[in-house]
Chains A and B, each alone.
Chain A
Amino acid sequence: MKVVACYNIKGGVGKTATAVNLAFLAARDGARVLVVDLDPQGAATFYFRVKPKVKGGGKGLVKGKRDLDDLIKATDHDRLDLIPADFSFRNLDLMLDAEKKSKKRLAKLLKPLAGDYDFVFLDCPPSVSLVSEAVFHAADALVVPLIPTTLSLRTYAQLGAFRDEEKLADLQLVPFFSMVDRRKSLHRQVVDRFPDDHAEAATVSIPYSSVVERMGTERAPIGAFAPKSPPAAAYESLWAEIARRLR
């Protein structure tokens, strides 16, 4: 089982769209996939039409009082399941802090699912916190959507420094650009130059498109309602690249 975390310190960069679309593609390719919506806003949960409610709340989840399997909901898509978000996840930091070995807690909670799933996608809340640290310790790869702006690049540098500080050399970073508007010269410049200093960057970018925004009205991954659209093709290429790196 490989754990893929969709993460960025910044909000509104396309983390949830990435987690939902990549998970859909992995399941479509035959893998057994679980999405864990750790963001109390519950956008991934909303996209999958599931109620944002977890029995026992975040506390129950973190303490491991309930079998994680009891919290899992099937989505409308074959082989794709979800642990929905819960509003109590806003205090997940504090709940983790109350536990021993808090940074390794999430990895421990996910371990029993190894026989049931091939991939777990973590949709993470923005910010650097104990939750992020727990995510870093649980994940095999950190997929980092970046908007091609200077500020966004700065946060990626912070993220790299944080990983080094935590001595997580095995954690793969896979940055890629999302919401790319090739009409903007700044976007073009940033996208073209970034790989010069970051060999780990994915070669695929996700274009800015209203199709991505339609996920909110369709409440489904792009592949389910606009499989031939440019963003759908871009996510397919991105997933192919990530899957190859995870092998």
Chain B
Amino acid sequence: MHPYSLEMRQIAAAAEERDRPAVVTPLAAIADAVRGSLRADPEEASARRLRLLDTVDCRLTRLGWRLEAEPGDDGTERWRLVSGSGRVRAAADLPSPAPKLVDDLPDGPLYRSLVPVVGIRALTPGPWITLAEHRATLRDAEGKVRCRLLAQTAVVDGGGDRCSAVRVGRLKGYRADAERVSERISRHYGWSPASPDPLTTLAENLHPGPEGAAYPSVTDPSEPAGPALRPVLQALLDTVEHRAEGVIADIDCEELHDLRVAVRRSRSILTLLRADPPDPALERAGAFFAWLGQVTGPARDLDVHILDWRAHRRRVPEHAADLEPLGRYMKAERDKAYVRLVRILQSKRFRDGVKRWRATLDATNAPWAASERALQPIGKLAGRRIRKLYRRAVEEGSSITDASPDEALHALRKTMKKLRYVFEIVRDAYPRKPVRAILKRLKELQQDLGDVQDTAVQADALRRFGEAMARDGTAGPATLMAVGALAEDLELRRADARTRFATVFAPVAKPRFADRLRRLTRSRTGGG
């Protein structure tokens, strides 16, 4: 298609001004404009109804893609993934209602195109849209097609957005014709610079995407910690509130995960600001976030179990059928946990905690912001904390041997998490390149420690689930054997992760890494 497009309203309005009938279809207007040189053959107009799907954080729209769902004749839905250029990347016919999670899509080009982008996020449909299309072919005297025109109008149901565009399709070897047609239309009816097709415009309007960075960072290391961290804490509190709404609406498991990350990051900052004597407002907030972290844990654990069950089902398809009862059991447990969690997130305790903390953060002359620590430059304060946590991590990690219990690795994992959170609070105050290199190593180590801990917890949980299912009679021998096999698989992965530990810990413990971290956090930009 030609990159230029015309706004239909402009064409119609211009046509009206030229004493033409009040209702002018864009193609009629265009055919009129090109009369004399090429013959316009209008094709029958068509209209279709569809919905656009995206994740709540608009992963597809942010990539310039759109996912269309159109009802089929036989109770199916036709899904088409379209890239920014208008190319259909993949399509599939799915039973209606289609699954919310990409993981539940059948394997194929659509699944493979979506999974790296959407991941574990749910796809939610937007409102119904009617897309009307008029096409015309412009032919020369020999009857040869010289260019094609497509006029589209997309209207959102219930008096929502309305977008239109006319596109001039260029054909290889006949580009001059398309240019001439575009130029003529422009001369007769006014010109509008290139605009994307109406569905892309609507997708952007319907799914504008989250504003700002997911995890804010301070940029000026010399700024006092209090004022520097206030907007970070406010943004994290916003995340807690928004994600709580997402959990209540049961969008997908990432809502709870993001909420918990915001909680941990907030706690990390509160520790950084902890004053002597303690500030009552910060202590209260610390207690509130500790409670929130604790009460959201069981639901998150079940989410993780279900994610792992899904991954295993893909990895070992021959277990899929036998593991279905386990999936049903875990989903029922998860639903119960979510009912409890939603009650908590709608409770007075939660609402009051958020309200009080927001009031504390919004108060301009709060005592916490005037403490000795809050007045220190953030670069200096965070740098000191980073170095302290790093020393602790190296100490804890160096004492780990093959014979160490998993708890030792768990303790190191917690220290590493704290280190990474503080580091990320000030990451934008440091040069980008060394930050990336350091974060890469920290993430590798954290991933491994996470694998050790998560696989152990999951294997343990699976055994409990298996016992419970056997007691309830909800699982037959095949399921219990598959659960056992899954638990064994987790044990093997845990053993692998333990073996890997030494390899991923070594680069972090190296004097070169320590030097780099020290130099960075003591540098003029980073503060000392």
Contact = CB atoms under 8 A, between A and B. Distances in A.
Contact of A74 (B142, B143, B172): B172
A219 B173 contact: no
B174 interface: yes
A39 interface: no
Contacts of A74: 145, 171-174
Interface string A39-63: 0000000001111000000000000
Nearest to A69: B172
B143 A219 contact: yes
A164 interface: no
Contacts of B172: 72-74, 81
Contacts of B144: 48-50, 76
Range class of the A interface residue count: 10 to 19
Contacts of A71: 173
Interface string A205-239: 00000000000000100000000000000000000
A72 B145 contact: no
Interface residues of B, number: 8
Interface in B138-163: 142-145
A178 to B, nearest CB: 27
A76 B171 CA distance: 9
Question: Which DSSP category, helix, strand, loop or mixed, fits chain A's interface?
Answer: loop
A53 to B, nearest CB: 11
A38 B514 CA distance: 70
A73 B143 contact: no
Nearest to A50: B144
A72 B173 contact: yes
A51 B144 CA distance: 10
A50 B174 CA distance: 11
Nearest to A48: B144
Nearest to A83: B173
A73 B174 contact: yes
A73 B142 CA distance: 15
A49 B143 contact: yes
Which among B144, B171, B173 has the greatest number of chain A C-beta atoms within 10 A?
B173
A197 to B, nearest CB: 44
Contacts of A49: 142-144
Nearest to B145: A76
A73 B172 CA distance: 5
Contacts of B143: 49, 219
A72 B173 CA distance: 6
Contacts of B142: 49, 51
Nearest to B137: A76
A73 B173 contact: yes
A23 to B, nearest CB: 15
Interface of B: 142-145, 171-174
24 contacts: A48-B144, A49-B142, A49-B143, A49-B144, A50-B144, A50-B173, A51-B142, A71-B173, A72-B172, A72-B173, A73-B171, A73-B172, A73-B173, A73-B174, A74-B145, A74-B171, A74-B172, A74-B173, A74-B174, A76-B144, A76-B145, A81-B172, A81-B173, A219-B143
Lowest 4 CB-CB distances: which A-B pairs, in order?
Answer: A73-B173, A74-B171, A49-B144, A74-B172
Given A49-B144, A74-B173, A81-B172, 17 more contacts: A48-B144, A49-B143, A50-B144, A51-B142, A71-B173, A72-B172, A72-B173, A73-B172, A73-B173, A73-B174, A74-B145, A74-B171, A74-B174, A76-B144, A76-B145, A81-B173, A219-B143
